[in-house]
Amino acid sequence: MAHALVIGEALVDVVRTADGTVTEHPGGSPANVALGLARLGRHTELATWLGPDARGELVASHLRASGVHLVPGSERAERTPTAMATLAQDGSATYEFDLAWRVPEVALDDTVAVLHTGSIAGTLEPGGSAVAEIAAAAREHATISYDPNARPTIMGSAEVARPVIERLVTLADIVKVSDEDIAWLYPGADDLEIIQQWVRSGPSVVVLTRGGAGSVGVRLTGGIVEVPAPSTTVVDTVGAGDSYMAGLLDGLWSAGMLGAGRRDALRLIDEETLRRAMTHAARIAAIVVSRAGANPPTTAELKEHA
């Protein structure tokens, strides 16, 4: 069965709201992408690094309940990572992390339609170097997707993180990046110019998300695709970008664009196909921001919101 293999951190978000209330929820950018794909009906495996503790069981149970399969060896960390997320009045979040990261052994073959990675997993050693090596090896079998999802408090300076992130961009076929990521990585630069540079470095598609201002996609063959963000009431933005990423992959999967054997088709993707995938992703992200936490919709919920 063709499946998605997601490699990266799963953790517990310890969320402190503007009124001082504290709650704990499963999170982690790659884990959220895996969750989003599984809820959309895609067979999804997650290679991560959890501890054999109560928080690890919270995360694992949450993922398994939505159909995510943990790669064997994913629960060998000393303790489960945490992210302290502080929410502002507008629902935006800032993070502080307690996280160690290693990569369990993964199997690569032609049943892997897409390998996705991103965020802390690509930059934090010792796992970061292994992620790049796996992504390079997986190109023989799968489409590679990447979301930098910058977390400055754990990634260090932009000067240190930038070459690592740019290396992963060159290995990827599909990249999703936020305007906040670009602003941190390239202070003062035009975000559209940066993603156009990125698409010339290796990827077939790079999509820039701008929150309520919508998203912009560029293709290797040229042209810009702009998709507005659906109107919605924002509760918080936790997991919105990850859910967009899952929706983008799901949309391209439905269009027959994923898998190493479809790399040439992806490189020649037409404007309308990319627009449909981005619109699908934007609808999913809009649902996520309308409710608390990283809670992506199922296919049935999407039909209800159609």
Summarised one tens digit per residue, pLDDT across range 215-233 is 999 999 998 999 999 999 8
Task: List strand residue ranges (DSSP E) for the chain, in order.
Answer: 3-7, 11-16, 22-27, 44-47, 68-70, 82-87, 93-98, 112-118, 143-147, 174-178, 205-209, 215-219, 224-227
Torsions phi, psi for 102 (to 5 deg): -135, 160
Please tell me the pTM assigned to this model.
0.94
Q: Average pLDDT of the chain?
A: 94
Q: What is the DSSP letter of 208?
A: E
Question: What is the rounded average pLDDT of the residues 149-172?
Answer: 95
Q: Binning pLDDT at 50, 70 and 90, where does residue 190 land? A: very high
The residues near 249 (Cβ < 8 Å, ≥ 6 apart) are: 4, 33, 37, 42, 114, 116, 145, 174, 258
Interval 95-135: pLDDT, tens:
788 999 999 999 999 999 999 999 999 999 999 999 999 99
SS (H, E, C) 266-281: HHCCCHHHHHHHHHHH
**Tens-place pLDDT, residues 23-81:** 888 999 999 999 999 999 999 999 999 999 999 999 999 999 999 999 999 999 999 99
The more confident residue out of 93 and 127 is 127
Domains present along the chain, CATH in parentheses: 3-304 (3.40.1190.20)
C-alpha 174: how far from chain center: 11
Q: Report whether 205 contacts 269 (CB < 8 A).
A: yes
